[in-house]
Amino acid sequence: MGETELHLERVVRAPIEAVFDKLADIESINEWQPHKGSIRRGSRKTSDGPVGLGTTYEDRTLFGKAPGEVATFEQPTRLVYHWWQDAPWGSRLAEGWPGYTLEVVSAQETLVRHDARLKTYGLYGPATPVMRRIALRERTAVLDALEASFTRAG
């Protein structure tokens, strides 16, 4: 097994509620998250009702489908997703916890602390350093896209 963590920060020029709502809207993530150079191909909500604690979803990636759930939902300051990927024979290969902690900087600015934890198992264990580099690129691209989505909207 391997384990790694990432910690990134960015100030986004938007109110905290708007930033939280954008990060929590699983269906609209497809509109603003990066496509070029990303391993993620799309996301869809798989449970009924509004997004909240326990909401389920599925990401499509270059590595296959990864189901997940909302693990923490504390509007408007904390949101954590938990995804996992299993081998066809049922063994867990990897799981991750991308999370966001939001803090008001001003009425129109939000500090986004983006933390991500990744665990790898079995065959994926030795690939943890490579997967960390992929995750760092992905997580940085997400923050870039989040910031740009508010610039375009304004």
Paired tokens of 103: 């803090």
Q: Give dist(CA 23, CA 32) in Å, integer.
A: 10
Give percent above pLDDT 70 in the chain: 96
User: Does residue 5 register a pLDDT over 90?
Assistant: yes
- Tell me: the pLDDT tens digits for 51-102? 999 999 999 988 889 999 999 999 999 999 999 999 889 899 999 999 999 9
Q: Give me the residue label for tokens 């997004």.
A: 51
Domain boundaries, the chain: 2-153
- Residue 153 predicted with pLDDT over 60: no
Query: What digits encode the pLDDT tens for the residues 7-22?
Result: 999 999 999 999 999 9
Mean pLDDT of 133-143: 90
Q: What is the pLDDT of residue 27?
A: 87
| pLDDT at residue 37, as a whole number | 67
Token representation of residue 111:
């500090």
Mapped to the 3 state alphabet, what secondary structure does the chain carry?
Answer: CEEEEEEEEEEECCCHHHHHHHHHCCCCHHHHCCCCCCCEEEEEECCCCCCCCCCEEEEEECCEEEEEEEEEEECCCEEEEEEEEECCCCCEEEEEEEEEEEEEEECCEEEEEEEEEEEECHHHHHHHHHHHHHHHHHHHHHHHHHHHHHHHHC
CA pair distance 141, 82, nearest whole angstrom: 19
% of residues, the chain, pLDDT over 90: 70
| CATH number given to 2-153 | 3.30.530.20
110 and 103 in contact (C-beta within 8 Å)? yes
